[in-house]
Amino acid sequence: MNRFLSSFLLFFSCFTLSAQPDTVRIGMFVNDLFDLNLSERSFHADFWLWANYTDSTLVPLESIELPNAKEYAADLTYVEQKEDLFWASKKVQAAFKKDWNITNFPFDVQVLKIEIEESDMDVNDLVYVADTENTQYYDQISISNWDIERFGIETSAIEYPTTYGDPSLSGSSTYARTIAFFVIKRKSLGLFFTLFTGVYVAFFISVLVFFIDPIFVDPRFGLSVGGLFAAVGNKYIVDSILPQSTAFTLADKIHVMTYFFLLVCIIISVISLRLWKNGKEQKSKRLDRISFWLVTSLYVVLNIIFIWQVQG
C-alpha cells in the first residue's frame, strides 16, 4: 500500500509540474515619448522590448501584440542563449491610442500606457513576470509642457468572453498582459494664462461699464456685448486644441461663468438706465457702484474655487 501511495504521489507531482505554464520575464526600456496629440487622441513611443525564458520552443516576442496601438513597427529582433536562459529583444516604434481626460485641463494629470499582450498561448500555457529592475526610461526624455511624475511596469491577465474557436477551451480565454505606464503632469501655469487671458480681459473690460453713466447707451451696452463676443471667440480657440468631450471641464466652467456674469452686467445696465430715466440718478449710481464690487468679487472668488478644486 505504501509503495502504491508513493507511486501515486510521484505521478501526481509530475503531472502538476507538467501542467505549470511557462514563465516569460518581460521588460522594456523607453527611449522616447513624443507627439502627444490631444485632438487625435494619441501619443508615440520608441522603446526596446525584451523577454527572458528557458523553453527553447517559445518565441514570445513573435506572438505579442500591442492592443492599444494604432500602428507600430518592429525591427532589430534577435535571440541569444545565455547558458540555460534565452534572451530575446526587439526595437519597437508605435503610435498609441489615448483617451485624454480633459476635465481638469490645463491642470491635468494623464496616464500613458504601453500595453503588451500574448496573442497565442493563454495563461494555462504562458504567463508574464515583470522585469521591474531593468525596466526604465531614458532620463533625457523631454516632453514639451509636461513633467514625468512616475513610471512603472506591471503584469496582469485579461479575459475575453470567447475562445476564438480553440477547442481546448470553453466559455472564455485569458491571456498574459504587461503594462508599462507613465504618469505625467502638465506644466499648466503658463498655458493657463495663455489660453484664458482673453476671456479675463473681456470680463474686466465689461465691468468697467459700471463707471459709465447709463444714459450713454452705446458705450455702456457696447462694452458688455463686445466682451461677450470676445469670450465666445476665446472658447472656440480653447475648444480647437481639445478633443470632443461630454465632460463639463474647467474650461467650460470658466467660459459659461463668464457668459453668465456678462449677462448680469447687461441686466444691471438696463435696470440702472431705467432708474436714471425715472429721475433716480443717485440710486442708479449706487447700484452701479455696488454691482461693480459685487460682480467682480464674486467672479474672482468663483474662479479661485474652480481652479483650487482641480488642483486638489
Cα 114 to Cα 151: distance, rounded to the nearest angstrom: 11
For residue 8, pLDDT beyond 70: no
How confident is the model at residue 2, as a pLDDT? 47
Looking at residue 312, its pLDDT comes to: 62
186 beta partners: 146
Q: Which three cell numbers stand for residue 66?
A: 500591442
- Residue 32's CB is within 10 A of a number of other CB atoms, namely 16
Q: Which of 38-42, 142-146, 167-171, 277-281 shows the lowest mean pLDDT across its residues?
A: 167-171
Q: What is the pLDDT of residue 17?
A: 43
Contact 54, 79 (CB under 8 A): no
Q: List the grid coordinates of 27.
A: 521588460
Coil, strand, or helix at residue 105? coil
Cα–Cα distance, 144 to 132 (Å, whole number): 27
**pLDDT, tens digit, 9 for 90 and up, residues 22-46:** 899 999 999 999 999 988 899 999 9
DSSP state of 117: E
The residue with cell 526600456 is: 29
Check whether 117 has a pLDDT greater than 90. Answer: yes
Q: How far apart are CA 104 and CA 110, in angstroms?
A: 10
ω into residue 106 within 30 of 0, thus cis?
Answer: yes
Highest mean pLDDT out of 119-123, 135-139, 172-176: 135-139
The overall average pLDDT reported for the chain is 87
Proportion of the chain above pLDDT 70, given as a percent: 94
Q: Is the pLDDT of residue 309 over 70?
A: yes
> Tell me, what DSSP letter sits at residue 7?
H
Winning range, highest mean pLDDT, from 45-54, 191-200, 238-247: 45-54
Query: Nearest Cα to 33, choosing from 188, 186, 184, 190?
Result: 184
The pLDDT confidence band at residue 19, using thresholds 50, 70 and 90, is low
Pairing assessment for the beta strands 64-65 and 109-118 based on DSSP bridges: antiparallel
Q: Encode pLDDT of 175-186 as tens digits.
A: 999 999 999 999
SS3 helix, strand, coil % of the chain, rounded to 5?
40, 35, 25
Rounded Cα distance between 60 and 53, Å, is 9
Q: Residue 48 pairs with which residues in a beta bridge?
A: 29, 91
- The proportion of the chain whose per-residue pLDDT surpasses 90, expressed as a percent, equals 49
CA-closest candidate to residue 105, choices 185, 10, 209, 6: 185
pLDDT tens digits, 248-279: 899 999 999 999 999 999 999 999 988 888 88
Q: Is residue 22 exposed (0-12), middle (13-18) or buried (19+ Cβ within 10 Å)? A: middle
pLDDT, residue 138, reads: 94
CB contact set of 140 (below 8 Å; sequence gap of 6+): none
